[in-house]
Amino acid sequence: MSTKTIKPALSIQGCIQVPGDKSISHRALMLSSIANGDSVITGLSQSADVQSTINCLRALGIELEIDGNRAVVHGRGKLGYHKPSEVLNCGNSGTTMRLLAGLLAGQPFDAVLDGDESLRRRPMRRIIDPLEQMGATIESNDYKAPLKIRGGQLRAIDYATTIASAQVKSCVIFAGLYANGNTRVTERAPSRDHSERMLIEFGVKAQYSMGGAGVRGPAELQPCELDIPGDISAAAFFLIAATLLPDSKVELANVGVNPSRIGILDALATMGASVYKDEVQERNREPRTNLTSGYKKLKATTLGGSLIPKIIDELPILAVAATQTEGVTVIKDAEELRFKECDRLATMCKYLKKMGADIRENKDGCVIKGPTPLHGCTIDSLGDHRIAMSFAIAGLIADEKTVIKNSECIDVSFPGFFEVLEKSVVR
């Protein structure tokens, strides 16, 4: 277990390059692996979660050449996976487990997906039910990992999700690549649409809209070249740090601004933040741009409804920002936060209160009254990377040092986060 100490900062400055988008990286690797030939990926995330996907694909017989953030994936076609000789270890990555389950559901062999203690606590019924409707057989530990998947011939379905989840949607449409006919997923609220956009790049007949997505199978994937933009979820920590620290200005280069992911920009706009976008460029159907953020006094707002799926990963750092707003900020409809690497809702409320915030936890969110000064203290991240990074930013605006226990978990999404942060802050 590693511990990191964060000291108060005067400002944050400079041009920052955030890692490649983690969500897109998972999908690029998986779809390349079932393409009919070699695909080249640049801008690949080097996070521990993405390494879990790489390890699982190698265990399935896929050859990958990795050189920093560049990868060459030697795709073997939809049925090119080999039966693994061991359990496929997804580590801490729910995306690896849920999306790979969709691909394994169409394979003519059994495979077991497992992960660490945290991943074993996360709900998997949300993918088990639709995959079984499609014809797969899945054994689980009370709808949690490990998952034993017995694949085979699948049938197309129309599936209405009970929650807005890109992982569930992607799992089902990945399985739909192996089914005869049109597989469709409808959602109560839009979730990120990276899978649907990317499938078109691989030559698949896929559709997507605000209401869901669909794919026509059986489909063959043609290899392609993919360039992955910077991760806006990683950028959020620096955007908010600059907003909270006087005399700050940061520029974040080549950040993905997919419309299904820019909820953080919408949320910050309602809070009065100053975040500016350069001209947007598009590559591989994924828009990207440079973002610039600076200090601004924030105002309270309400975050809920259809915005929540677009900011689910950014809610912890938004809660930190809310402690410095003028008025009462309400976060609601966010019960999904309780089913991440830890109960993020309870953990954020517990430690923000410990730092002096006026915060009240509700079943599906919290109420935060600001502005209140924050005081340094000791935080246990509980192995959750977004909790650790959120309190690192909180530590910059606290009046004394903040100690973060279990800080190594940040490598799950942002290796080198503390080094980038330290180079950017002014004390």
Within this chain, do residues 219 and 307 fall inside the same structural domain, yes or no? no
pLDDT of 1 higher than 90:
no
Based on the domain organization, do 174 and 300 belong to the same domain? no
Contacts of 274 (CB under 8 A, 6+ apart): 243, 293, 294, 295, 296
Provide the pLDDT for residue 164: 87
Residue 225 has what pLDDT? 98
Over the stretch 388-399, which tens digit does the pLDDT of each residue have?
999 999 999 999
CATH of the domain at 332: 3.65.10.10
Quick one: 211 and 333 in the same domain?
no
Question: What DSSP element (H or E) covers 3?
Answer: strand 3-6
Greatest CA separation for the chain: 61
| Residue 188, pLDDT score | 86
Question: Over the stretch 402-414, which tens digit does the pLDDT of each residue have?
Answer: 999 999 999 999 9
Q: 227, 255, 278 — which closes off a domain?
A: 227
Please say if the pLDDT value at position 207 is more than 90.
no
Q: Which of 200, 227, 254 finishes a domain?
A: 227
Output the pLDDT for position 208.
85
- Confidence category of residue 131, pLDDT binned at 50, 70, 90: very high
pLDDT at position 210 is 79
Burial class of 395 by CB neighbour count within 10 A (0 to 12, 13 to 18, 19+): buried
pLDDT the model gives residue 31: 98
Split at pLDDT 50, 70, 90, the class of 3 is very high
Q: Are residues 196 and 96 in the same domain?
A: yes
Q: pLDDT above 70 covers what percent of the chain? A: 100
Average pLDDT of the chain is 96
Please give the pLDDT value at position 163.
87
Expressed as residue numbers, the domain containing 100 is 22-227
Per-residue pLDDT of 266-322, as tens digits, reads: 999 999 999 999 999 999 999 999 999 999 999 999 999 999 999 999 999 999 999
Give residue 254's pLDDT band: very low, low, confident or very high (50, 70, 90).
Answer: very high
Looking at the structure, do residues 281 and 365 belong to the same domain, yes or no?
yes
Does 283 lie in the same domain as 152? Answer: no
Burial of 372 (0-12, 13-18, 19+ CB in 10 A): middle
The residue from 194, 227, 260 where one domain ends is 227
Same domain for 360 and 240: yes
Classify residue 299 by its DSSP letter.
B
Mean pLDDT of 134-145: 97
- What is the reported pLDDT for 126? 97
Are the CB atoms for 149 and 78 separated by under 8 Å?
A: no
Active-site residue list? 313
On whether the CB atoms of residues 267 and 300 are closer than 8 A, the answer is no
Task: For 8-41, write each residue's pLDDT tens digit.
Answer: 999 999 999 999 999 999 999 999 999 999 999 9
CB count in 10 Å sphere of residue 126: 18
| Whether residue 165 sits in one domain with residue 82 | yes
Would you say 20 and 59 are in contact if contact means Cβ atoms under 8 Å apart?
no
Counted domains in the chain: 2
Q: Which amino acid is at 150?
A: R
Do 109 and 210 lie in one domain? The reply is: yes
Q: Is residue 211 very low, low, confident or very high in pLDDT (cuts 50, 70, 90)?
A: confident
Average pLDDT over residues 149-163: 94
Dihedral angle of Cα 325, 331, 337, 342, to the nearest 10 degrees: 40
pLDDT at residue 221, as a whole number: 98
Asked whether residue 189 carries a pLDDT value surpassing 90, the answer given is: no
Residues 269, 214, single domain; the answer is no
131 shares its domain with 147: yes
The reply to whether 286 and 148 lie within a common domain is no
Q: In the predicted model, what is the mean pLDDT of residues 374-389?
A: 97
Q: What is the pLDDT of residue 322?
A: 98
pLDDT in tens, 307-357: 999 999 999 999 999 999 999 999 999 999 999 999 999 999 999 999 999
Residue 162 has pLDDT above 90, yes or no: no
